[in-house]
């Protein structure tokens, strides 16, 4: 039975896709008859089915070699595009993670959407994301990964644009689409350029080629080409993972509904990193590409945690750390620690999903997302508060929870080669802890404010997924132990572990001190206002975009349009005008006098005669 289920794992994306297609049919016409809710139930059911399939299939794959299936998509003129599917414990494990978070997000959405009519659209897109992500982790080909990422870019556009009546949503959807699309197109360029070099797009074969003698020889002979290809390949994941300078969309995406944010912050960004992990052998051929990966990751990690400190929108205080943690994943990949990267993705996914779920819990009935309007929720919302603490502890390095082991693994691998990066990660971890505790203190501690006077725990569709996710986060170390990725006590570098815990503790205690102490005036300001503005306005990235890329395209397109209207079309119209004008003026030469005509003919004849005379001599 498990055998059969494991061979048919490719059905999992299909379940979700069927759900998405069926729900997409929930037009206003059908909604009027049935109400919007069946769309949600249907999709939650399909998600549960997918999850069940994945869970049952996993035991048959654990510690066994991966199954490979091939589906022919297109064979034309010497190009063979076959979709290779890799069914392994890793890919099915990733599917289980995706399905769990998706199922919880969908149950959550059943509560969240209570006052909205757009169930069909939201659930259809959620299911579409589930299908896309499951298909992405199953497919073993760069080309098909590109296809799926690109389709998900469109889905992102629609999902962020869910409440399309609000202007911020509209611009957010636009920016997300264009940023991701830009990354995707660089990825496509990399895909195209990789083919003549490696002759394959299958990740397995690419890895084999990159480690083979042929790959190394090529790398020695053409370092520039490989560096460019590597940079193009990184750009795709950079867009998906919201890395500098493609990070702005994730912030704007927070205008979308919370269930989609849960999904996006945890697994959607992670699939970009998944592709990066798969590409690591190719990137490793170019030292420059690897260094760029590390640099981008490190800059994003530091910048993201710093920006999060100055955000007043509670969803945004969560979105920037997502960029930051994906930056750490970039660092891990850039230094060749792919397993660490995957562990980091797993621990981050659970913690980030949990944090977003808890935030949704209090935003839903306190109406505001402004942290300055919150305070004193601890007594009123104990479950939510506890779950937030669990998410916080799971995210930053606090033993024994997941984030600690992932970060310890990361700095352990870096210590010997790049000690300065270890220092940076310690700072980032401290800042991340500071930022999350800041949010916690602002929301849950202090005195209640007008917006939080009346606040109660919500009904089960909110609380159940949150608590279940908290359970998962708490039990994650056990899962990691079962998977065999935890180090034994003898292997643990205790100095590094202590440093890590110290950095988390100092971040936490500093934040608690600043935000709980009555001696420090609230709202807390940075010592230098310019610095605060720099961070609060996201390093002025929107302005940067406006004066560079956006401005450039705008100016060029306007110029182009002017050229088109006045030069190209103007020339045509000028010819027309000249024709009309010459006709108009020539008509006055028809005087009706016979003599004039004779004279014209004679002059003409004389001209012809003279011309022929000169030509013949």
Partner 1 sequence: MLSVLIWGPILGAVLLACIPVRPAERTTRPLAMVIAGSLLVWSLWLLIGRFDLANGSGQFQESLAWISALGLNYSLGVDGLSLPLVVLNTLLTWVAIYSTPQSVLRPRLYHVLILLTSAGMTGALVAQNTLLFVLFYELELIPLYLLLAIWGGPRREYAAIKFLIYTALSGILILGAFLATTWLSGAPSFDLAVVSSYINRLAPATQLTLVVVLLLGFGIKAPLVPLHTWLPDAYGEASPPVAMMLGGVLAKLGTYGLVRFGLQLFPDAWTTLAPTLAIWGTVCVLFGALTAIAQKDIKRMVAYSSVGHMGYVLFACAVGTPLALTGAMGQMVAHGLILAILFHLVGVVELKVGTRELDVLNGLLNPLRGLPSISALLVLGGMASAGIPGMVGFVAEFLIFQGSYATFPLLTLLCVAGTGLTAVYFVILLNRTCFGKLDNATAYYPPVVWAEKAPALVLMGLILFLGLQPTWLVRWSEPTAIALGRPLTTATLPAPSSIATPS
**CA-to-CA separations, 452 to 112, 254, 299, in angstroms, rounded:** 19, 22, 37
Residue closer to partner 1 (CB basis): 8 or 204: 204
By CB under 8 A, residue 403 contacts partner 1: no
By CB under 8 A, residue 569 contacts partner 1: yes
CB of 284 to partner 1, least distance (A): 15
Give the containing element (helix H, strand E) for 81: strand 79-87
Instruction: Return the range that interacts with partner 1 (CB under 8 A); candidates 82-90, 145-153, 445-453, 463-471.
Output: 145-153
Give the containing element (helix H, strand E) for 348: helix 338-366
SS3 71: strand
Residue closer to partner 1 (CB basis): 453 or 554: 554
By CB under 8 A, residue 78 contacts partner 1: yes
Pick one of 2, 192, 596, 602: the residue that binds partner 1 (CB under 8 A): 192
CB of 249 to partner 1, least distance (A): 13
**CA-to-CA separations, 587 to 573, 583, 590, 597, 600, in angstroms, rounded:** 21, 6, 6, 14, 15
CB of 351 to partner 1, least distance (A): 32
CB of 317 to partner 1, least distance (A): 27
Instruction: Return the range that interacts with partner 1 (CB under 8 A); candidates 159-167, 380-388, 419-427, 596-604.
Output: 159-167
Cis check for the bond before 523: say yes or no (omega within 30 of 0): yes
In the range 433-462, which residues lie near partner 1 by CB under 8 A? none
SS3 87: strand
Phi-psi region of 513 (alpha: psi -120 to 50; beta: other; left: phi over 0): alpha
Pick one of 41, 62, 71, 73: the residue that binds partner 1 (CB under 8 A): 73
Residue closer to partner 1 (CB basis): 137 or 395: 137
Torsion of CA 588, 594, 595, 599, to 10 degrees: 70
Yes or no: say if 327 and 304 are a contact pair by the CB < 8 Å rule.
Answer: yes
Yes or no: say if 201 and 194 are a contact pair by the CB < 8 Å rule.
Answer: yes
By CB under 8 A, residue 214 contacts partner 1: yes
Yes or no: say if 309 and 434 are a contact pair by the CB < 8 Å rule.
Answer: yes
By CB under 8 A, residue 551 contacts partner 1: no
Pick one of 561, 582, 600, 612: the residue that binds partner 1 (CB under 8 A): 561
Angle formed at CA 280 by CA 219 and CA 65, multiple of 5 degrees: 115
CB of 572 to partner 1, least distance (A): 5
Pick one of 197, 254, 331, 425: the residue that binds partner 1 (CB under 8 A): 197
Pick one of 147, 159, 279, 353: the residue that binds partner 1 (CB under 8 A): 147
CB of 137 to partner 1, least distance (A): 18
By CB under 8 A, residue 193 contacts partner 1: yes
Residue 260 CB burial class (10 angstroms; 0-12, 13-18, ≥19): buried
CB of 162 to partner 1, least distance (A): 10
Pick one of 558, 581, 607, 611: the residue that binds partner 1 (CB under 8 A): 558
Residue closer to partner 1 (CB basis): 260 or 466: 260
Yes or no: say if 9 and 59 are a contact pair by the CB < 8 Å rule.
Answer: no
CB of 181 to partner 1, least distance (A): 5
By CB under 8 A, residue 557 contacts partner 1: yes
CB of 141 to partner 1, least distance (A): 12
Yes or no: say if 376 and 444 are a contact pair by the CB < 8 Å rule.
Answer: yes
Residue 499 CB burial class (10 angstroms; 0-12, 13-18, ≥19): buried
By CB under 8 A, residue 538 contacts partner 1: no
Count of CB atoms situated within 10 Å of the CB of 397? 30
Which letter does DSSP use for residue 26 in this model? -
Q: How far apart are CA 152 and CA 155, in angstroms?
A: 5
By CB under 8 A, residue 154 contacts partner 1: yes
The DSSP bridge partners found for residue 70 are: 84
By CB under 8 A, residue 583 contacts partner 1: no
Count of chain residues binding partner 1 (CB under 8 A) = 67
Chain positions contacting partner 1, by CB under 8 A: 27-28, 31, 73-79, 117-118, 146-148, 150-151, 153-154, 157-158, 161, 164-167, 169-171, 173-174, 177-178, 181-182, 185, 188-189, 192-193, 195-200, 202, 204-206, 208-209, 211-214, 553-554, 556-558, 560-561, 564, 568-569, 572
């Amino acid at each position: 039975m498990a055998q059969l289920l494991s061979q048919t794992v490719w059905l999992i994306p299909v379940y979700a896709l069927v759900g998405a297609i069926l729900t997409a049919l929930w037009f206003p016409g059908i909604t009027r008859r049935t109400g919007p809710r069946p769309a949600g139930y249907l999709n939650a059911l399909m998600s549960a089915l997918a999850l069940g399939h994945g869970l049952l299939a996993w035991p048959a794959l654990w510690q066994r070699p991966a199954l490979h299936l091939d589906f022919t998509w297109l064979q034309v003129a010497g190009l063979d595009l076959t979709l290779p599917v890799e069914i392994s414990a890793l890919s099915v494990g990733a599917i289980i993670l995706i399905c769990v978070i998706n199922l919880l997000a969908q149950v959550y959405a059943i509560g969240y959407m209570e006052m909205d009519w757009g169930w069909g659209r939201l659930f259809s897109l959620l299911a579409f994301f589930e299908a896309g992500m499951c298909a992405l982790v199953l497919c073993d080909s760069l080309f098909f990964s590109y296809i799926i990422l690109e389709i998900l870019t469109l889905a992102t556009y629609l999902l962020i644009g869910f409440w399309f009546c609000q202007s911020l949503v509209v611009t957010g959807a636009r920016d997300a689409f264009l940023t991701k699309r830009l990354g995707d197109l660089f990825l496509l360029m990399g895909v195209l350029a990789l083919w003549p070099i490696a002759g394959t797009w299958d990740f397995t074969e690419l890895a084999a080629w990159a480690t083979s003698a042929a790959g190394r020889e090529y790398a020695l002979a053409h370092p520039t080409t490989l560096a460019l290809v590597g940079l193009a390949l990184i750009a795709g994941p950079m867009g998906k993972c919201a890395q500098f300078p493609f990070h702005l969309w994730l912030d704007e995406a927070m205008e979308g509904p919370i269930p989609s944010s849960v999904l996006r912050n945890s697994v959607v960004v992670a699939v970009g990193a998944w592709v990066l992990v798969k590409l690591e052998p190719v990137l490793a051929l170019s030292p420059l590409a690897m260094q760029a990966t590390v640099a981008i990751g490190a800059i994003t990690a530091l910048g993201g945690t710093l920006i999060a400190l100055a955000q007043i929108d509670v969803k945004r205080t969560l979105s920037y750390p997502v960029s930051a943690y994906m930056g750490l994943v970039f660092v891990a990949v850039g230094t060749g620690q792919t397993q660490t990267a995957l562990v980091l993705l797993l621990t981050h996914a659970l913690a980030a999903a949990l944090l977003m779920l808890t935030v949704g819990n209090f935003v839903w009935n306190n109406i505001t997302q402004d942290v300055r309007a919150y305070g004193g929720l601890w007594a009123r919302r104990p479950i939510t508060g506890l779950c937030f603490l669990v998410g916080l502890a799971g995210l930053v390095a606090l033993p024994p929870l997941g984030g600690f082991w992932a970060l310890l693994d990361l700095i352990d691998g870096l210590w010997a080669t790049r000690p300065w990066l270890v220092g940076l990660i310690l700072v980032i971890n401290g800042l991340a802890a500071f930022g999350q505790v800041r949010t916690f203190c602002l929301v849950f501690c202090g005195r209640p404010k007008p917006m939080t006077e009346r606040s109660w725990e919500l009904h089960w569709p909110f609380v159940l997924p949150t608590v279940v996710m908290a359970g998962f986060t708490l039990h994650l170390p056990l899962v990691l132990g079962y998977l065999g990725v935890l180090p034994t006590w003898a292997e643990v570098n205790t100095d590094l572990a202590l440093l890590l815990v110290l950095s988390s503790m100092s971040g936490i205690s500093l934040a608690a001190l600043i935000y709980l102490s009555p001696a420090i005036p609230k709202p807390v300001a940075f010592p230098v206002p310019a610095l605060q503005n720099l961070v609060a306005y996201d390093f002025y990235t929107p302005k940067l975009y406006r004066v560079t890329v956006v401005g450039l395209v705008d100016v060029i397109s306007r110029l182009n349009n002017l050229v088109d209207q006045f030069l190209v079309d103007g020339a045509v119209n000028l010819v027309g005008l000249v024709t009309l004008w010459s006709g108009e003026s020539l008509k006055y030469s028809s005087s009706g006098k016979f003599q004039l005509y004779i004279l014209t003919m004679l002059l003409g004849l004389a001209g012809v005669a003279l011309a022929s005379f000169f030509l013949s001599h």
